[in-house]
Structures are given as C-alpha cells and as structure tokens.
Structure 1
Amino acid sequence: MCGILVFRGFDIRNQMSNIESILSLRGPDNYKIHIYTKVHPEITFIASQLSLVGTNCFPLVSNRGDILVANGEIYNHLDLFSKAQDIKFSLESNDFDYILEVYSQEKSKVDKREKLFSNILNRLKADYALILFDKTSSELYIARDSFGIRPLWFYWKSTNCWGFASEKKILVELGIQNEWISQVTPGTWCKIELTKENNFLTFNNNSTIMESSFSPTRSSLDEVNLQICIDSLKNHLTNSIKRLLNNLRKDDSRLGIFFSGGVDSTVLHKLATKQSSYLTPLIIGFEGSKDILVAEKYFHENENNSYIRVNITEDIVEYNLKKVLSRLDSRSPVDVGIALPIYFLSKKASENKINVCFTGQGADELFIGYKRYEDLFLKQKSSTTLNLNQILWDELRFIAKRNIERDDLMASSHGIELRFPYLDFKLVEFVSQLPLEFLIKERNNKENQQEFSRKIILRELSTKIGIPDYISMRNKTAIQYGSGTQKILQKLADRERLSMNEYLKTI
C-alpha cells in the first residue's frame, strides 16, 4: 500500500507538512519526492510506501528516465519477471519495476505506446492505481484496477494544471475545491499527451476487466451439479487466497483477518489457515456483543487462543469519533457505524505489527447476501425485463465507491493494507454463471411463512469444510450491529436528544 500524489501547476511549499502527514498514513516505511524539471511547469511525483516487496521505493525512475508511482500489489510479479527478457528480479526489486522496465524497454519497438501499456495491464493479477510518465513523448498514463480496490482521485483543468492522488483530502490541500475532484473509474486507463492542450480526459476500459469477465447468462439447474460446484467454489476461493499471499513469506506473521463469526470471514479463515499458519484473527465488539460471543465460542471449540480481541465501549467510541470523522467523507450513520469497527480493528492490527489484513468484503454482492435482493429476486420471476444478474454485477462494479473507499480510509489511517479474496475475477466469473437457485431460494418456515435462504452455496461449502451450523447457518449481521457500534452511536445521540444524523453533524 502506498500514498501517491502527482501534480503540475501548483505551489505546495506551504502545504508540504500536511501532505506528508496524510500520505505517510498510507505508507509509513518510506517517503520520497521526485521533480521532473525538464518541462515547464515542472511535474512533481510524491510517494509514501508500505514496503512488502523489495527495497526500491516509489517514485521509480527507469534508465531511460520514465517515472512510475503506484499504490497496490502485483501478485504474479515473480511469474511476470521470469517470462520477461532482459529484466531480472532481485531482492531490491519493487513488484511495479516490471511495468516500468518492460514499458521503457519495449516502447521504441512499437507503433502505438498506448497499446503496449494496455497489453502490460492485461498481464497483471493485481490491485493498483498507477501513474506512468513517458519522458520521451511527454505522455502520462493513468490506470486503476478493475474493482477499484486501490483509490485514485483527480483534478484536471488543463495540461499545465492538474493533480492525481490516493486521497481526495490531498488534492484539497492543493487548494482544489471538493466539487472539482473526481474519481478515476475502476477498470479504466487513460493516455494524456502533455504537449497538447487537453481540457478534458477520456478513459478507456481495459479489455480484460469489467464486461469480459461477466457472463450475463446463468446456467440452468439441470446443467450443473451442486456438489461439484461447491468443490469448484472451494478451489476458486483457495486460489484467490494463494494469489493474495504471493508476495508475503510463508512464515510471515504480519497477516491478519477481520473476523466477525459470520460465514464469509469464517470460510476465509478456515481456507487461509491451510496456506499460512501465521494468520491472526481480529474480533471486535462490546462485552456480550453478538460477534464477540460467536467468534470466541468458535475459537475456544477449536482450541485457538491466538486471536486478538478488540474491546469497545461508549467512552472509547466517543473519544475516537472525531478522528474517524476527520478521515471519512460521509456523515451517514450507516457509513460511520461500519467505519468505527474497521478503524479500531486496524489500529489494533498495527499495534500488533500486522500490516496486511484479509476482509470478507464483496461476499454479500457476490452470493446474494443482502436482504434487499429478495424483492429483486421475486420481481425477476414475474418480469421479462428485470435482470438480477446484471444488477448484481453493477453492485460489484461500484463496490469501491459504496464500501471499499470507506474501509480503505479507516485501514490506511493505521498503515494497514486490506486484501479482498472474494473480489477475484476467476471467482466472480465462476459465481456469475451459477444458477440463482444455488444462491437464493424461497422456503416456508415453521409458521408456514415465506422466507429466503441466501448465500446457499457458500453456506454449503462452510458446512462441508467443517464449520459448525451456528456459523454456517447464521443470519447476516452487519458489522455495525454485530460489534455494537450502531447501538453505541444511538446512545450517544440519545444522550444529546438528537437524531443520529443530527448528532454526527455536530462532531
């Protein structure tokens, strides 16, 4: 994980201290500035870095003078380096050295450099937000990963006045108004010719991401077997976990998992512990909260005492609320209720020398976990135009804006990088082709009332790998309720005789 800022046409001498403070939250290990002075106005590249691979630090500069900054991880970097000609991976190598060196070496051999850049992106198994400057052509390439795991904000006025950054607040420090700042759309890239006047940017879809990984037509029940699909789901999820562990040592104790005692995180934990024995679960809640009770019961039954418990109280939430809101753009009670436990979990992880954490984000969108999907499921049965599959895909495409951005801001406050095993394209592609009946079903309960089973295939996998029914069949409990943060926020608001919306606006 890194914090990045690339800009042109701003004087930041009076803002340097604030910018460094914000960027260093995201990258506590290194902070570096590179200024390209051979053009006017000059271009400034700033990066802070959480070092996980190699010792080379951003901004990276090639022998030919090209410059790269990035926030993210390339999980197949060893494989890419082994296949590349005249490029060797060393202990010093940054995983993103691959992009810079391949581009710098091959750009003179191709007619269209943008095609070379796109082809390099297509080789990656990665989460990234990156900016590449071609010294020879004075071209700037911007790209963001498919689900928007790594954030990238921008302001564009002209080729002589612009900025790109990991956080919106960094661009605000340049004096840019909030309403002029936009996000680079996930799964897109852009080439900017700095020698030409451009008053607007055009972003291109990366061919290997977005629609090409999505199958709009699901299989029918008579074409597939549930048990075979459960085994395939296990394989896909295991492969996703392995990929996310590729740039961590087998004995690395810096890895954690946010554990709620729900089916999403427990399946991840069960499968991930087979790949890394140093995975540390972190649980959170007030005394007697649902998530704490379920998680501790599970760990005690499995004689696992290596988990870390984060205790929260009304006083702790009240004391830290201003810090949380200073990092969060939203004042929505739902966003704040979710942000608080992510903030406290990340703080505790950092205190225990953990710097990478798995999270179950994405599972609800992928496996139809939210209750709101039930109405859509019923409507689709009586509609010829409603496509639930397309709606689910749209939810995944925009998960960055809705969820990941918030979680990233909370985790990066403590130098924690989040990784998302459920947001793997092979896994998404596989689940998108399953019959809906493997994900959601109507049934009658004991009172003969209609209800739904959701996340069916994930729950079946959970049972198959030995997770007890009180977790496999546990109803979804959102983290703000399972941990108790929403209840605490309500108490704080009630004490001031305000609604929660009104109370949060006073902080």
Structure 2
Amino acid sequence: MKATIAVLSKNDDSVTELILNTLNSISLKHTPSHYGLITPKGNYSHKSPYLLEQQAAHSSIAIGYTSSPKTKNSYEIQQFNESSLLFEGNIFSSKLNFASPKNSKDPLGYEKSLETTLEQSDGNYTLLLLKENCIVAGRDPIGINPLYFGENREFIAFSTNRKALWKIGIEKPVSFPPGNLCFTYKEGFKFKKVKTLSLRESTSVPLNDAAEPLQILLLEAIERRVKGLKKVAVAFSGGIDSSIIAFLAKKCGVDVHLLHVSLENQLETEQAIEAAKLLDLPLEIHLFKESDVETTLPLVVDLIEDPDPIKASIGVPFFWLAEKSFEEGHKVLLAGQGADELFGGYQRYVTEYLKEGAEKTRKAMFDDVASIHTSNLERDLKIAGFFDLDLRLPFASYDLADFAVNLPVECKIEHSLNTLRKLVLRAVAKNIGVPDSIVDKPKKAIQYSTGISDSIKKIAKKQQKTIKDYVNELFEASKSNYS
C-alpha cells in the first residue's frame, strides 16, 4: 500500500522521526513496505524505517513515502538546488518536466512549471515540492488521486490518506481542492486556483452533433491510458459505460480482459456474460457470498476512511475487483467512474428535470462532477492503491469532462419519467458499433445490481443496528487504531 505525508514543523523541530513512525504504523496494518524520506537537500530510501532514520538528515520540513517493494519506483523524485519534488501518479498527455530555477531569485521559482503541469497535463496525480520553510502541494484538475491537508498547534501537513494525519494529531483532515496549488508556510496556507471545471452558458446542441466530438474525446482518453500496455483489465458490468471502455480499448490493440464481480444468483451476471459474448472479449467472473460481504466491509471502511454507508456499499464490490485484478496479475484496471455524473446516469436527475427544469438539473450534474473527488474517486483510488493496482479512469479525462458538463440536459436525459438516460453516450456507443442490446440496457447502481446493499442491510439487522450505525461503528473502530 502506498502512502505519502509531507510535514512542516511550526516550531522548527525535526519531523523525520515523526514521519517515519507514522508511515510505519500505517504499513504494519497492511502490507510490508519500502520507505523513503525527502528533505530540501536530499532524498533517502530503505526497507527499514529505523535504518532510514539513522541514514537521513534531520529536518523541520520533509516528505515521507511508503509503498510495497514492487511499486517502490512508482514515485518520481526530482532533486534541485536545495529543493525537492515528489510526483505520484500518471501524466498521459505529456512528460513531467520541471526546469530548475537555481539562478532565479524568486522564492517560488517553480510556480510557473507547476502551473504548466496542471494546465497542460491529462492525468491523475499529486505533487509535493519542498523548499526551505515551504511546502508546495498540487492535485490534478479532477481530483482523481487522493490528497488531504490540515494543521494543529505543532504541524502543517499533507497526506494521500487521512490515517497519517490522524496519527500526528490532525483530527479533521480536509480534501485538497482539485486543480489548485497550495503554498504553505508556518503562518498557514495560500491556495491558487490553476485549472478547474466551470459551467458555461447553456447552448442548444443536437444529439448527433454532441456525439461526434464526444466519441473523439473518449477514444483519445482511452488511447492515452492504454498506450504502451500489452494487456489491461476492465471493470465490467455489461452496461453502457464499461462496454464502451472495453470496446474502444480493444480497438486500440491492447489485450482486454473483462472482470466481473457480484454476489451469487444476480441477474446482472447473466447480462455481463451475454455482453462479453457480443463484444467477443474474455470475461473473468468472481461470485461471492453474503458472508464475504461481512468479512470485506470492515476492510473497506478502513481503506476508504469514511463512515458513509453508500460509499462503503459501493466499495465492497470494487474491493473484490481490485483484489481479483491483483491476484490475476493485472497491473492496470480501466473503470467507468464519472460517467453517471457526466451523462445523467442517476434517476434523481430525471426527477429533478421533471420538477425543477433543465438549468437546475444541469447545475446539479455539474456540482456532482465538481465534487466527485470526495464522493467517489478518493474511495476507489485508495482501494486500488491497497492492491498496488493502477486505476485509470477515461471518463475523468479533463477535456472529456469539460465537454460533457457543458452539454445541455437534453443530450443526456429526456423530459420523461421512463427515459433511458445517458442519451449522448448511447449515441456514441451505437455509432462505434456496440451491439444494440448493450446500448439499450437500463442503468442500475452497482451496490443494487450486485446485491451488496441488501446484504449489508441484513448484516446490520442481524446485529440490531441501522446500516448507518453499523458502518459508523466499523469506522470508529478503524480510526481508533490511528489516533
């Protein structure tokens, strides 16, 4: 499991021991780890946090990171003149390239390079830059990779999970805003918005006119995310989102393996089998029992660091997907997160459209996309990270998302209670040759289609608790291990 933490001491005390002890406490609960420590003047690494502490220079500002031995090279570290950069994630559209400002008198000499990365790069990433008495943090414009921040009387800190911040006494970590840079000194945080989604004035666009550029953007997003790969796994339900991803990935020439998980005796499994046959792609099916839900749920709540019952119920089947991907040797998993928010996949959008009209519905969809990093993406990236799995999300490509959020509602849902939803996405699927039976399949949420939600209800009822109380109890038990 990968984890990163950057700490700045408000009292000029050394933070190296604190960082290593924190990372060690997290890794002990999960998998054996490789440790790294970065200061403005150097970077160090070792399998043992104790030997690393002896090796590294003490500093009042530092970054620590940990990962499994097989993924210890998944970070990119650049060392400059009394400053250091840690990059974690993927850039699909360009290379990470910072020019050293060693001749610059500007104390924020890297600012322009960091801004350029956020402005021009399609990817999922976080970055942390150390200079003397300053941490600069950044996150991709959609907020795909998790990043949190907070402070107390002694420290200001950033981390890719909440556990590390809880461990050093920051009780309420905040999710870092996507597409921002943050310049951090002892006095506090200074945020600079660089690139974020915006909702522009609505214009009328015929469905077919919207489908053509969307098709180009989708193909481009998938091509970038499979470039250089020989094989890739696709989280597969047999629905429109996963079928389009699988279909286009196959068109890109990569060896596509479909993965499907569910409880036993669910109708969606039969639909996934039929869809895989129509797409002529190999399908790996993994079925679970209700007892597996009860075993998995505490692990999921621990990983997602959140007591929300809906997030936990969605996290269970995704945990199984990530686990099976790992066991079968897949390194990259493609998934369809974001499609529901972008294209009107939820029934509540239809309800709002009928009740409140197009503009309020369009704004509701935009708000859901703008907050998707906290509602969905952080959960799934943390689960994938636990299994050292590279989760890539084509629908979370910035250019695609920017195009989709600004489409009129009429391109996504009809003004009818029985609308299919995701109309423009279905038009793309039909245009590229996805079989009609897949194109016309209604949407059903994963926690319901896999049977997970009902199972959690039964488990909670068995313990004479509501779902909310049951999941919250699991969360508090997990959090107590890191407080």
Q: 2:165 aligns with which of 163, 171, 191?
A: 171
With over 3 angstroms needed to count, the CA separation of the structure-2 counterparts of 1:76 and 1:396, relative to structure 1, is: same
Q: CA RMSD in A?
A: 3.2
Q: Distance in 1 between matches of 2:354 and 2:100?
A: 50
Deviation at 1:66, TM superposition (A): 2.0
Q: Distance in 2 between matches of 1:472 and 1:107?
A: 56
Q: Distance in 1 between matches of 2:257 and 2:374?
A: 28
> What letter is aligned with 2:175?
Q
Deviation at 1:209, TM superposition (A): 2.9
- Matching residue of 2:345: 369
With over 3 angstroms needed to count, the CA separation of the structure-2 counterparts of 1:111 and 1:72, relative to structure 1, is: closer
Deviation at 1:172, TM superposition (A): 1.6
Q: 1:33 aligns with which of 32, 37, 52?
A: 37
Q: 2:131 aligns with which of 134, 141, 166?
A: 134
**Structure 1: runs of 5+ lacking an equivalent:** 81-95, 444-449
Q: Deviations over 1:412-471 (max 9, x none)?
A: 22122222111122212322343322211134xxxxxx5333111111222333333332
Q: Distance in 2 between matches of 1:131 and 1:474?
A: 43
- Matching residue of 2:53: none
**TM-score, length of structure 1 as denominator length:** 0.80
Query: 2:3 touches 2:23 (CA, 8 Å); kept in 1?
Result: no
With over 3 angstroms needed to count, the CA separation of the structure-2 counterparts of 1:166 and 1:474, relative to structure 1, is: same
Mapped pair 1:42 → 2:46: no
- Within a 5 Å distance, the mapping from 1:62-77 to structure 2 comes to 62-77=79-94
- Matching residue of 1:227: 208
Deviation at 1:231, TM superposition (A): 2.5
With over 3 angstroms needed to count, the CA separation of the structure-2 counterparts of 1:50 and 1:455, relative to structure 1, is: farther
Deviation at 1:503, TM superposition (A): 3.4
Mapped pair 1:150 → 2:142: no
Query: 1:257 touches 1:358 (CA, 8 Å); kept in 2?
Result: yes
Query: 1:190 touches 1:201 (CA, 8 Å); kept in 2?
Result: yes
Q: Distance in 1 between matches of 2:219 and 2:128?
A: 31
Query: 2:40 touches 2:131 (CA, 8 Å); kept in 1?
Result: no
Deviation at 1:65, TM superposition (A): 3.5
- Matching residue of 1:90: none
- Within a 5 Å distance, the mapping from 1:191-340 to structure 2 comes to 191-192=183-184, 194=185, 197-198=186-187, 200-206=188-194, 208-211=195-198, 214=199, 216-221=200-205, 224=206, 226-246=207-227, 249-251=228-230, 253=231, 255-304=232-281, 306-340=282-316
Query: 1:2 touches 1:71 (CA, 8 Å); kept in 2?
Result: no
Q: Distance in 1 between matches of 2:349 and 2:116?
A: 37
Deviation at 1:114, TM superposition (A): 3.1
Deviation at 1:373, TM superposition (A): 1.0
- Matching residue of 1:424: 397
> What letter is aligned with 1:185?
P
Q: Distance in 2 between matches of 1:313 and 1:462?
A: 33
Deviation at 1:2, TM superposition (A): 4.9
SS at match of 2:238: coil
With over 3 angstroms needed to count, the CA separation of the structure-2 counterparts of 1:431 and 1:24, relative to structure 1, is: farther
With over 3 angstroms needed to count, the CA separation of the structure-2 counterparts of 1:26 and 1:205, relative to structure 1, is: farther
Q: 1:187 aligns with which of 179, 192, 198?
A: 179
With over 3 angstroms needed to count, the CA separation of the structure-2 counterparts of 1:28 and 1:473, relative to structure 1, is: farther
- Matching residue of 1:19: 23
Q: Distance in 1 between matches of 2:75 and 2:357?
A: 52
> What letter is aligned with 1:501?
K
> What letter is aligned with 1:397?
A
Percent sequence identity over matched residues? 24
> What letter is aligned with 2:364?
I
Question: Which segment drifts farther, 109-118 or 484-493?
Answer: 109-118
> What letter is aligned with 1:163?
A
**Structure 2: runs of 5+ lacking an equivalent:** 43-56, 475-483
Query: 1:2 touches 1:48 (CA, 8 Å); kept in 2?
Result: yes
- Matching residue of 2:118: 121
- Count of aligned pairs between the two proteins: 456
With over 3 angstroms needed to count, the CA separation of the structure-2 counterparts of 1:21 and 1:356, relative to structure 1, is: farther
SS at match of 2:415: strand
Q: Distance in 2 between matches of 1:455 and 1:41?
A: 52
> What letter is aligned with 2:127?
L
- Within a 5 Å distance, the mapping from 1:303-452 to structure 2 comes to 303-304=280-281, 306-381=282-357, 387-443=360-416, 450-452=417-419
With over 3 angstroms needed to count, the CA separation of the structure-2 counterparts of 1:27 and 1:451, relative to structure 1, is: same
Q: Distance in 2 between matches of 1:461 and 1:294?
A: 21
> What letter is aligned with 1:411?
A
Mapped pair 1:470 → 2:437: yes
